Amino acid sequence: MSEDNPCVGICEIDESGYCIGCGRSADVIFGETDSAADSQADAEVASLAGVPGERPQASD
């Protein structure tokens, strides 16, 4: 695991579609690998900023 990768080695997607280890969605983890997708994934990971496996609250 690199410092650019939020993976903590607990790779299990829960019933809502998020990894219980890093909190990323399955779409982000297994999605496109082009640079635009990487930038989007980085933004999504940055928005997590919480406990691993905790999903951000939806904004109204």
Q: Identify whether 59 is part of a domain.
A: no
Burial class (CB in 10 A: 0-12, 13-18, 19+), 43: exposed
Q: Identify whether 55 is part of a domain.
A: no
Q: Is 0.75 surpassed by the pTM of this model?
A: no
Give the residue with greater pLDDT, 27 vs 45: 27
Return the percentage of the chain with pLDDT > 70, whole number: 55
Tally of structural domains, the chain = 1
Q: Identify whether 40 is part of a domain.
A: yes
The DSSP call for residue 28 is H
Give me the domain span that covers residue 27. 8-50
Q: Identify whether 57 is part of a domain.
A: no
Q: Identify whether 15 is part of a domain.
A: yes
Q: Identify whether 13 is part of a domain.
A: yes
Give the residue with greater pLDDT, 43 vs 34: 43
Q: Identify whether 45 is part of a domain.
A: yes
Q: Identify whether 58 is part of a domain.
A: no
